[in-house]
């Protein structure tokens, strides 16, 4: 049951490949926490409702062209524009569930194959953003992803881009990383995955007060950055 004396909320990020079921799982998690009377919010990136988000939306739909660096920084700016409100919500005891965050930001840009856009470069504008207390990585095999239907019409929804994104995500998972990343096998039924997600989230919410105040993403958070 919800504990009214809990001091701060948890910042819970759900990351992973397209078709891993991120949005459905975020929605289910949000409903479950509300049902348990926890103060909860569900946000997603890109947030297409803001002026920056509208530029991103137009780019993703192929209605505008932008330099690779520019669009990358817009994705990051789209997170920065709500960074303070995330912070405020967490301090008010609200648990914030986030559908895609800095991992997607760095990986999708690095997957473009532009030699000037390394993972290292792509991570830099994320430094200082609220740091997730828990990052749930929904892992899905290419075979399972393929079974879940074809791509839509947006930019990045191509086989070659998705393969590079997948490989980059997997290479990150292979690296020794921080405790706050939890890999979830997303190739199972919706209910099984939801159950697997709820457990570490509740555990994290129970522990946040002992973790202390919300932290910031550092240059080495999550991604042990090399030079490539
Ligand atoms: N995407 C998403 C990025 O390239 N960078 C980012 O920082 C974020 C948050 O935008 F292809 C990509 C990932 C995806 C596209 O995302 C739209 P949704 O989750 O499919 O709406
Ligand atoms: Mg999509």
Q: What is the CATH number of the domain that holds 115?
A: 3.40.50.300
- For ligand 1, whether the C-beta of 125 sits within 6 Å is no
Residue 224 is assigned to a structural domain of this protein: no
Residue 78 is assigned to a structural domain of this protein: yes
Number of structural domains found in the chain: 1
159 is in which domain, residue-wise? 11-209
Ligand 1: atom nearest CA of 155 is 11
Q: What pTM value is reported for the model?
A: 0.93
Residue 221 is assigned to a structural domain of this protein: no
Residue 172 is assigned to a structural domain of this protein: yes
Q: What is the dihedral of CA 204, 208, 214, 219, to 10 degrees?
A: -50
Q: Please say if the pLDDT value at position 6 is more than 90.
A: no
Ligand 1: atom nearest CA of 75 is 7
pLDDT in tens, 164-220: 999 998 887 776 666 688 999 999 999 999 999 999 999 999 999 898 999 999 886
Cα distance between residue 79 and residue 226, in whole Å: 24
* Residue 74 phi, psi dihedral angles, 5° rounding: -65, -40
Nearest CA to ligand 1 atom 10: 46
Give the mean pLDDT of the chain: 90
């Amino acid at each position: 049951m919800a504990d009214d004396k809990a001091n701060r909320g948890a910042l819970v990020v759900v990351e992973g490949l397209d078709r891993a079921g991120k949005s459905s799982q975020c929605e289910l998690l949000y409903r479950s926490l509300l049902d348990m009377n926890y103060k909860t919010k569900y946000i997603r990136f890109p947030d297409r409702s803001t002026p920056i988000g509208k530029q991103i939306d137009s780019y993703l739909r192929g209605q505008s062209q932008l330099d690779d660096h520019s669009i990358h920084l817009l994705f990051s700016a789209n997170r920065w524009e709500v960074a303070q409100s995330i912070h405020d919500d967490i301090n008010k005891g609200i648990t914030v569930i986030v559908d895609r965050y800095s991992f997607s930001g760095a990986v999708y840009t690095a997957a473009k194959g532009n030699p000037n856009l390394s993972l290292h470069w792509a991570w830099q504008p994320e430094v200082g953003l609220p740091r997730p207390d828990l990052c749930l990585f929904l892992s899905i095999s290419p075979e399972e992803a393929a079974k879940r239907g074809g791509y839509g019409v947006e930019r990045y929804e191509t086989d070659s881009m998705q393969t590079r994104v997948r490989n980059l995500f997997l290479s990150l998972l292979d690296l020794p990383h921080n405790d706050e990343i939890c890999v979830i096998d997303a190739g199972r039924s919706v209910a099984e995955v939801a159950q697997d997600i709820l457990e570490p989230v509740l555990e994290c919410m129970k522990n946040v007060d002992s973790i202390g105040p919300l932290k910031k993403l550092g240059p080495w958070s999550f991604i042990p950055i090399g030079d490539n």
